[in-house]
Amino acid sequence: MRWGMAIELKRCIGCYACVLACKAEHFLPPNIFWNRVLIGEKGKYPAVTKLIYSVRCNHCADPACVKACPTGATHQREDGIVVVDEDKCVGCRYCMVACPYQARSFYEDGHGAQTEYYPGQGLTEHEKIGKTLYPHEPGTVQKCVFCKERIDAGLAQGLKPGVDRDASPACMNICPTKAIHFGDLDDPYSDINRLIKEKKGHPFHAEFDTQPSIYYID
Amino acid sequence: MMQVKPWDFMVKYTPQREWIEGHGILVAFAMFFGGVSGGLYLASLFFGNLTGMVIAWALAALAGLVDMAHLSKRMRFWRMMLKPGSSWISRGFILIFLFLGAAGIQILITWLAPGNAWEILFKVVAGVLAFGVAIYSGFAIGIVGAIKLWNSGLVPILYVVSGLAGGLAVVMLVSLNQDAASLVTISNYLLAALVIDAIFVATYFWSATYSSVTARDSAVRVMKGKIAPAFWIGVVVLGLIIPIALVAPFSLSQSASTVAFGIAAVGAIIGGIMLRYVILKGGMYSPLLPDE
Amino acid sequence: MINILLNELNVYDAEFLKKKTNGAYLIGPDELYVRDKETNKPLVWDSKANKAKVFNDPTIGDYALLGEYTVNGVKCHPSFQLLKDHVKQYTAEAAEKVSTVPAKTIRRIAEEYAEAASIGTTIEIEGEKLPLRPVACIMFRGGQGHTNSAHSYVAMCILNAIVGAMDVPGGTLGWPAYVGGHPDTGRFKVIPFPCKDGLLTAGTFMEHGPWPLHPAKVPEDMLLKELVPTASFSPHPMTSDFPKYWENMGHPYDIEAAIIFGSNMIRSSQNREIVEVFWKKVPFTVSFNILPNEFAEGFADIVLPDCHPLEAYCLFSSHGPFFNHPIGMEGWCFPIRQPVVKAAYERRNKVEALWDLADRIGMRDEMNNYYNVYFSSFGGEALISGDISSARGAAAIDPKKVTKLIKPGEKISYSEMMDRVFKFYFGEKNDLKYISEHGSIDWKKQVKEAYWRWYVDVRIPIYLEHLAELKPEIMKNAKTIGVDLDWEQFTPLTSFFTAQVAKEETSEFDLYSFSYRDILHNGTYTMEFPWLDEVSRMNPYTYNITMNADTAKQKGLKDGDLICLESSYGRKITGYLKTMQGMHPKCIAIAACSGGWAKGAPIAYGKGTNFNILLESDFKHACPVCWSQETATTVKVYKIDHRIEYDGVGGKPQ
C-alpha cells in the first residue's frame, strides 16, 4: 500500500481552500503551512497561461529528507507516508535543506516568532483547543502528513481513503472543484491509478529523482 | 538578508535560509571549524606541532559544540549519531566524537610518553578521522540534490583543500616565534595550499555556471549579487590574493617575515570562514513553476 | 456577436424567439407595441392567417419574426426584425476598435457559440423532452459596473435568448428560479409568472420588483428611486450631486437617526469623502456590527455587537433559491447556518436585539407582521411582487394571504421563529431540531423546476419597449428636480454607449483602473480574518496592484514599487505594484476591497489598497437606466514615497 494523490491542474482555481483546510485540521500555528498554492504565469501578453499548483509534501518513495535526517525522526511508514517524529527531531533542519520541494516548516514558539493569530490579544478559543487536540512540539520540523490520523481512523472503521470523507485528507475533502484525488498507488485498480493513467498524470519535477507520490494532471 | 516575496517562494529562485540565516549561521562556523580542525591536525602531524594538534582538537570540539548550539533540541544531540548509514550529519557527528577520542589519546601520549607504537597508531587513526572531519561537511551539502550550487563532487575536495589551507595558516600563526627556515617551510606549504585552494574555488564556481540553470543563477548571485562583496573581498582578496601576495615573495626568496606571514595566515582563516558563508548563502532552490 | 449570429451566420432559435420573447410583438413608428384596441394587449402577426392577433391568442398558426406589416393603420415590424436591422451597425471591426479584441477572435467565438448552441437538438431527461442548448453567456459586476450597464447586460441576455439557451439543459440557469415547493407541504415555493404584456415576473424579488414597472414619479425620498423605475437599487443619497437635487426638491426632510446593519459603506462603495458628506449630517447612527470597522469607527454613535456567523443561527441566507441553491438536476437543499461556538462577549443575534428595540418604540406588531409576510411569500402564493423591503411595504400586502406564524405582539426567540418557519415550509417533522441535526432539508428536484422555461408561459423582452414608454414621463419629472441623464440610453433597441470611464481617457490619464473580486475575500470583513490574511500575503494579487509588465516598464515602474494612482478628479490611492503578463496593457487592477484603516481591525490595517477612494458618485457616473455605478476610472500612475491615503486617517499600524 502506498498512499498517493493526483491533482488536476485544469480544475484548480487557486482558492487556497486546501491550505486553509489544512490549517484548520492540524491547528497550524501562524506562518506554518503544510501545503501551499504556487501561482505564476507562462507566456507573454496576450498569449498567457496562468499556472496554479497546490503543493505539499510529495511523500516521495525515495525521500531526500529521510536520508538526510540524522536521528531517524523523519521516517517513512509502510504505507509510504513520510512523517516526522517530533519526539526524536533535534531541529538540525538538514531535512528542510535537503527537500527540493521545500515542503517542510520549522516550528518555533517564541524566539520572535508570531505565536498568536491576533498578536497581543491572547490565544483565540480555536488556538487554545488546538494546543490540547493537536499540540505541536516547538523546535521541531513539521510537514504534511497526508492526514494520517484521518486515514488511520478511517481504515479502522472500515472506510476507504480517497472515497470516504472521514478517511480522506482534509485538503481533498474541501476542494470545491474536486481537483484533488487520493488513493492507493500500489493498487493497479484504484481510481487514482486509473485517473493517472487515463489523464497522463506525472510527478512534479521528476528530475529530482525522489519518486513523488503526488501526480499532477495537466 | 535576501528577500523573496512570499508569493515568489519556490515560484522563482528561492534561497536556502535554514542553514545560514539567524541561528543557521552557526552551521557555517561549524563547517569552518571542522574543516580547519581536520586540516590543522593533518598539518600538525606533518610538522610535528603539538600545539597545532591541541588547537585542532579544540576546534573539533568547537565544531561539535557549535553544531549542537545550532540545534533547537540540544539535549537530544546524541540522537544525531543514530543514522550513520544514511545521514552525513550523523556520520560527521560520529567522526567528530571519534576524532576527539583518538586525537585526545594521541595528544596525551605525545605529551606524556612520546615515541611508542601506540602514538603512531593513534596518529594514523586520528589522522584518518581528521580527514573525515574536514571532508564530511562537504559531503553533507554536496549530496543535496535540491541545491544545484552545492550538488557537486568538487565541494568535499574544496572543503578539504580549504581546511588544509586554514590548518596551515593556524600552524603558521602558532609557529611565528620559530626560526626563519621553519617559517619558510610552512609558508611554502601554505602557499601551495592557497594556490590549490584558489584553483578549486575558481574551478568550482566556473563549473557551477555550466552545470545547471539554477547553479548558474547561484554562481551569478555569488559573483554579482548581494553576496558578491563577501565573495570578492572575503574569499578572493582577503582569503586568497593577499595571503598569496604576502607569502609568495618570501617563499621565492627563502626569507621570512613574521608580520607578512601573520597577516597572510589571518587572511587565509577569514577567507575560509567566508567561503563557507558564501557557499551556504549562495545555495538556491530551483523554481517549481516554469519561468516566464 | 448578436450581429454576427443574426446577420452573418443567420443562426437563431426562432421557436424560442416566437414563444419565449417579445420578438414577434409588432412595433409601431412610435417605438411602442402596436396594441389590440379592445384588450390593449400587444399584437403579433400570424403568418399563417396573415393577420394581426393578440400575442397570446390560442389560434395563432405561426408568429412572424421578420417583415413589415400594416396594422391599425400604421406600418409596423416585429421587434426581432428591428433588432436584427439595428445591430447591423455593430460589426466585428467596430467592436475591435472599442474593445481591442480582434475582429477575427470575435467572429471565431460567435461561430463557436452558434455551433455549440446546436439549435434544434433536444435531450430527454426523466422522460421529458427538452431543448439542448449547451452555451451560456454570463455577466456580473465587471460588465454591469459602468454607465452603459443596462444595455450591456441586455445585450448579453439577448445573446442567450436568440439561441434559446435560457433555463433549458446546457443554457443559463437560475435567476429567477422555479421552486415547486416541498413535496409534503407544497410550500417554499417560488414560481415565475407572466404579468403585464405576457412578460416574466420573478417569483421572488426582495425589493423594488423590476416588472411590472412602478410608475415614474417625482421622487419624494432620499433614494430618488421613483424617478427611474427601471432602477432597482439607488446610490443616493451618498452621491456628490445629491444635495443639489434635494434642495431642488425643497429639502423635504432630514434624517434624524439611522440604523445600519453590518455594512461598511465608507470603505466598500464610492469615494469615502463623498460618503462622509452624507453621514456627517446624520445626528444619530447605530451600527450592528461584528467588528469595529471603518464605518462604525467613523460614524456610529452606538455599535451593537452582532453575532459572528459562526456564533448564531441564520435563517435567511438560504432564502435565495435563485442564488445559492443546487443548480441543474441536483436536488433541492435548504441548508441552515448554525452556531458552532457560543457568542463571545456581549454579542447578540441582531434580530432579537431588534425585537427589543421594536418593543421600546412600539413596533413589535409591525415587525412580526413583516416576518409573517416574508415567510408567507414563500408559503404558497407568489406574494412578493409587492415591495417588502420595508415594514410599510409589508403592511400593504393583503392580510388574507398572510399566514400568522408569529401572533401580533407575541414575543419569541429567533430559534423559535426558525422552528415555526421550518414546520411551516417543510412539515411538522422537519423542525429546527431535525434540520440542526441533518444540516439541511433535501428533496428531489423535478425536471420542470430545473429547466422550467418551457413549462411556464412567460416571455422576456429582447425589445425594451418600456424604456420608450417611460422616457417622456421620466424626462418631465427629472426636469422638475434638475436631474439630467443620458436620455439616448432610453431606447428600446439595445445599443452600445461609451461608458463614462472611456470618455475620461486622456493621454495623461491613460490607464483604466478597476477592482475585482479576489478569490480569498468577500466584502471588507474577511480582511480581518488572520488565516485569510496569511494566505493573502502569500498570494501575488490580493494585496498588490497589478499591471501589465510591459506597460509598467514603459512607465519606468517595476515589481514592488510603491505607486500612486491618481484619477482625473484628483483622487489618489497608493499601493505596491505586481507586474504580470496576463493583464491588458491599458489596465491596472486592484483585488478585493482592501486597504483598511480602522483601528479596531488591526489585521486588515494597511493591507492592500482601497480602490473605491478613486470612484466618483453622481448621475454622470451612473447608468441612467439601472443606476449602476461606474466602477472603473482612468488614472495616471507614478512612484510615490508613502501611503498618502493614510495621512491623518484612521488608526495606526501595529
How close B40 gets to chain A, by Cα (Å)? 26
- Enumerate the residues of chain A whose CB falls inside 8 A of the CB of residue B81: 70
- DSSP-assigned letters across all residues of chain B: -----GGGTTTS-EE--TTTSGGGHHHHHHHHHHHHHHHHHHHHHHHT-HHHHHHHHHHHHHHHHHHHHH-SSGGGGGGGGS-TTT-HHHHHHHHHHHHHHHHHHHHHHHHHS-SSHHHHHHHHHHHHHHHHHHHHHHHHHHT-TTBTTT-STHHHHHHHHHHHHHHHHHHHHHTTTS-HHHHHHHHHHHHHHHHHHHHHHHHHHHHHHHH-HHHHHHHHHHHHSTTHHIIIIIIIIIIIIHHHHHHHHHHHHT---HHHHHHHHHHHHHHHHHHHHHHHHH-EEPPSSPP-
Is B1 inside a domain boundary?
Answer: no
- Enumerate the residues of chain A whose CB falls inside 8 A of the CB of residue B24: 93
Give the whole-number percent of chain A exceeding pLDDT 70.
Answer: 100
Is C22 inside a domain boundary?
Answer: yes
- Enumerate the residues of chain B whose CB falls inside 8 A of the CB of residue C581: 292
Is C461 inside a domain boundary?
Answer: no
Is B2 inside a domain boundary?
Answer: no
Nearest Cβ partner of A69 from B7, B10, B83?
B83
- Enumerate the residues of chain C whose CB falls inside 8 A of the CB of residue B7: 538-540, 578
Identify the pLDDT of residue C387: 54
Is B292 inside a domain boundary?
Answer: no
Q: What value does the CA radius of gyration of chain A take, rounded to a whole number of Å?
A: 18
Distance CA C502, CA C512 (A): 8
Is C16 inside a domain boundary?
Answer: yes
Nearest Cβ partner of A38 from B83, B289, B292?
B289
Mean pLDDT, to the nearest integer, of B268-281? Answer: 95
Size of interface A-B (CB pairs under 8 A): 121
Distance CA C379, CA C420 (A): 12
Identify the pLDDT of residue C654: 43
Residue of A nearest to B147 (CA): A100
Distance CA C179, CA C382 (A): 11
Distance CA C429, CA C422 (A): 9
Burial class for A189, CB neighbours closer than 10 Å (0-12, 13-18, 19+): exposed
CATH number at residue C612: 2.40.40.20
Distance CA B166, CA B59 (A): 12
How close A215 gets to chain C, by Cα (Å)? 23
Has residue C401 got a pLDDT over 90? no
Identify the pLDDT of residue A94: 96
Q: Of the CATH numbers 3.30.70.20, 1.20.120.330, 3.30.930.10, 3.40.190.10, which one belongs to the domain with range A3-217? A: 3.30.70.20
User: Does A36 contact chain B (CB < 8 Å)?
Assistant: yes
Question: Across the interface, do B145 and A100 touch by the CB < 8 Å criterion?
Answer: yes
Distance CA A23, CA C348 (A): 28
Question: Across the interface, do C539 and B5 touch by the CB < 8 Å criterion?
Answer: no
Distance CA B141, CA B139 (A): 5
Question: Chain-centre distance of CA A138, in angstroms?
Answer: 19
Q: Could you tell me if C290 and C310 are in contact, meaning their C-beta atoms sit under 8 angstroms apart?
A: no
Q: Could you tell me if B80 and A70 are in contact, meaning their C-beta atoms sit under 8 angstroms apart?
A: yes
pLDDT single digits (tens) C143-164: 899 999 999 999 999 999 999 9
How close B141 gets to chain C, by Cα (Å)? 29
Specify the residue for cell string 576527539.
B100
CATH number at residue B177: 1.20.1630.10
Has residue C386 got a pLDDT over 60? no
Question: Across the interface, do B11 and A38 touch by the CB < 8 Å criterion?
Answer: yes
- Enumerate the residues of chain B whose CB falls inside 8 A of the CB of residue C537: 6
Question: Across the interface, do A69 and B87 touch by the CB < 8 Å criterion?
Answer: yes
Task: Report ipTM for this prediction.
Answer: 0.96
Phi, psi angle pair for C415, to nearest 5°: -70, -30
Mean pLDDT, to the nearest integer, of C384-405? Answer: 73
Identify the pLDDT of residue A107: 94
Has residue C392 got a pLDDT over 80? no
In 3-state terms, what secondary structure has residue A4?
A: strand
CA angle A17, A21, A27 (to 5 degrees): 145
Give residue C317's pLDDT band: very low, low, confident or very high (50, 70, 90).
confident
Identify the pLDDT of residue C388: 59
Q: Which residues contact C4 (CB under 8 A, 6 or more apart)?
A: C92, C106, C107, C110, C111, C114
Single-letter amino acid, residue C267: R
Identify the pLDDT of residue C205: 67
Has residue C382 got a pLDDT over 70? no
Q: How far is residue A83 from each of residues A57, A65, A89, C627, measured CA to CA in Å? A: 10, 10, 11, 58
Distance CA B43, CA C386 (A): 98
Is B3 inside a domain boundary?
Answer: no
How close A50 gets to chain B, by Cα (Å)? 11
Identify the pLDDT of residue C88: 98
How close A15 gets to chain C, by Cα (Å)? 6
Mean pLDDT, to the nearest integer, of B30-53? Answer: 95
pLDDT single digits (tens) B224-241: 999 999 999 999 999 999
How close A48 gets to chain B, by Cα (Å)? 10
- DSSP-assigned letters across all residues of C314-343: BSGGG--TTTSSPPTTSPEEEE-B--SSPP
Has residue A125 got a pLDDT over 90? no
Give the whole-number percent of chain C exceeding pLDDT 70.
Answer: 96
Question: Across the interface, do A94 and B140 touch by the CB < 8 Å criterion?
Answer: yes
Number of folded domains that form chain B: 1
Identify the pLDDT of residue C390: 67
Give residue C140's pLDDT band: very low, low, confident or very high (50, 70, 90).
confident
Question: Across the interface, do C538 and B292 touch by the CB < 8 Å criterion?
Answer: no
User: For chain B, what is the largest distance between any 2 Cα atoms, rounded to a whole number of angstroms?
Assistant: 69
Domain residue ranges of chain A, discontinuous segments joined by +: 3-217
Identify the pLDDT of residue C389: 61
Give the whole-number percent of chain B exceeding pLDDT 90.
Answer: 83
Has residue C50 got a pLDDT over 90? yes
Identify the DSSP state of C308. Answer: P
Lowest mean pLDDT among B196-200, C104-108, C401-405: C401-405
Phi, psi angle pair for C91, to nearest 5°: -75, 160
Task: For residues C532 and C411, state if they share a domain.
Answer: no
pLDDT single digits (tens) C617-654: 999 999 999 999 999 999 999 999 999 999 988 766 54
Mean pLDDT, to the nearest integer, of B102-126? Answer: 93
Is B117 inside a domain boundary?
Answer: yes
Q: Could you tell me if B247 and B255 are in contact, meaning their C-beta atoms sit under 8 angstroms apart?
A: no
- Enumerate the residues of chain B whose CB falls inside 8 A of the CB of residue A108: 72
Identify the pLDDT of residue A115: 86
Mean pLDDT, to the nearest integer, of B75-102? Answer: 95
Give the whole-number percent of chain C exceeding pLDDT 90.
Answer: 79
Nearest Cβ partner of B79 from A66, A71, A139?
A71
Enclosing domain of residue C618 = 500-646
Give residue B115's pLDDT band: very low, low, confident or very high (50, 70, 90).
confident
**Residue to substitute from A90, A108, A202, interface B, most B β-carbons within 10 A:** A90
- Enumerate the residues of chain C whose CB falls inside 8 A of the CB of residue A171: none
Is B267 inside a domain boundary?
Answer: yes
Is C524 inside a domain boundary?
Answer: yes
User: Does B211 contact chain A (CB < 8 Å)?
Assistant: no
Q: Could you tell me if C83 and C31 are in contact, meaning their C-beta atoms sit under 8 angstroms apart?
A: no
pLDDT single digits (tens) C497-555: 999 999 999 999 999 999 999 999 988 999 999 999 999 999 999 999 999 999 999 99
pLDDT single digits (tens) A147-161: 999 999 999 999 999
List all chains that touch chain A, counting a touch as 3 or more CB pairs closer than 8 Å: B, C
Distance CA C325, CA B233 (A): 68
Q: Give the count of alpha carbons within 13 A of B208, CB side only.
A: 28
Is B291 inside a domain boundary?
Answer: no
User: Does C439 contact chain A (CB < 8 Å)?
Assistant: no
pLDDT single digits (tens) C364-376: 999 999 899 888 8
Identify the pLDDT of residue B1: 41
Has residue C615 got a pLDDT over 90? yes
Question: Chain-centre distance of CA B234, in angstroms?
Answer: 14
Question: Across the interface, do B90 and A53 touch by the CB < 8 Å criterion?
Answer: no
Specify the residue for cell string 490611492.
C573
Is C311 inside a domain boundary?
Answer: yes
Identify the pLDDT of residue C523: 87
Distance CA C651, CA C654 (A): 9
Task: For residues C442 and C551, state if they share a domain.
Answer: no
Residue C578 parent element (H or E): strand C572-580
Question: Across the interface, do B7 and C581 touch by the CB < 8 Å criterion?
Answer: no
Reading the block at residue C331, the C-alpha cell is: 436536488
- Enumerate the residues of chain C whose CB falls inside 8 A of the CB of residue A43: 581
Question: Chain-centre distance of CA C363, in angstroms?
Answer: 31
Question: Across the interface, do C538 and B7 touch by the CB < 8 Å criterion?
Answer: yes
Reading the block at residue C491, the C-alpha cell is: 431606447
pLDDT single digits (tens) C27-43: 999 999 999 999 999 99
Number of folded domains that form chain C: 3
Strand partners, C545: C577, C590
Identify the pLDDT of residue B59: 96
In 3-state terms, what secondary structure has residue C365?
A: helix
Is C399 inside a domain boundary?
Answer: yes
Specify the residue for cell string 504580470.
C580
Is C139 inside a domain boundary?
Answer: no
Residue of B nearest to C559 (CA): B5
Task: For residues C404 and C520, state if they share a domain.
Answer: no
Residue of B nearest to A210 (CA): B145
Question: Across the interface, do C581 and A13 touch by the CB < 8 Å criterion?
Answer: no
Specify the residue for cell string 535540491.
B146
Specify the residue for cell string 545521514.
B87
pLDDT single digits (tens) C187-230: 888 888 898 999 998 877 666 677 888 899 999 999 998 999 99
Identify the pLDDT of residue C652: 61
Enclosing domain of residue B142 = 11-285
Strand partners, A182: A5
